[in-house]
């Protein structure tokens, strides 16, 4: 892990330099601290998606280079993104004894998910609702938007 920062567009960003899977737990703790005001069910869903995207970056690339969080208050939505250096596309697959469940979980938990590509690799993202569909975050869950 290296350092965390906020950018001009309201994203909270954790730059990741290590390629050790143990860094995944540190990234999850970083995200959990930023989601502390969410209700537990919503926070756990967001952390599950982050964990699956991190696992995919370790399994199918050289590990993540960034973890990003963006929170929108009205409607209440959290977008999570994990960047890596691979240009390969994430794809849903039929689960088997060896895996294939991660993106199925992401697909079920997210309102939408996808990938964007750039010269240095890709960013896989997922957008989750954190309140009843179409409603603003409850005041105690609003956090920065």
Could you give the number of structural domains in the chain? 1
Tell which wins on pLDDT, 102 or 108.
Answer: 108
Written in H, E and C, the secondary structure of the chain is: CCCEEECCCCCEEEECCCCCCCHHHHHHHHHHHHCCCCCHHHHHHHHHHHHHHHHHHHHHCCCEEEEEEEEECCCCEEEEEEEECCCCCCCCCCCECCECCHHHHHHHHCCEEEEEEECCEEEEEEEEECCCCCCCCCHHHCCCC
Among the ranges given (30-44, 58-72, 80-94, 95-109), the one the predictor scored with the smallest mean pLDDT: 95-109
Share of the chain above pLDDT 90, in %: 48
Share of the chain above pLDDT 70, in %: 80
Structural domain boundaries enclosing 100: 4-141
Whole-number average pLDDT of the chain: 84
Say which CATH number the domain at 79 has. 3.30.565.10
pTM of the model: 0.84
């Amino acid at each position: 892990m290296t350092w965390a920062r906020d950018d001009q567009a309201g994203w909270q960003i954790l730059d990741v330099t290590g390629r050790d899977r143990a860094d995944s737990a540190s990234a999850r703790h970083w995200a959990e601290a930023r989601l502390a005001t969410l209700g537990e069910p919503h926070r756990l869903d967001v952390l599950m998606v982050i964990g699956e995207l991190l696992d995919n970056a370790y399994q199918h690339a050289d590990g993540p280079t960034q973890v990003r969080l963006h929170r929108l208050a009205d409607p209440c939505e959290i977008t999570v993104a994990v960047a890596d250096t691979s240009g390969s596309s994430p794809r849903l697959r039929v689960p088997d004894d060896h895996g294939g469940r991660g993106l199925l979980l992401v697909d079920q938990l997210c309102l939408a998910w996808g990938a964007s590509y750039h010269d240095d690799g890709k960013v896989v993202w997922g957008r989750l609702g954190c309140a009843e569909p179409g409603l603003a975050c409850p005041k105690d869950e609003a956090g920065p938007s």
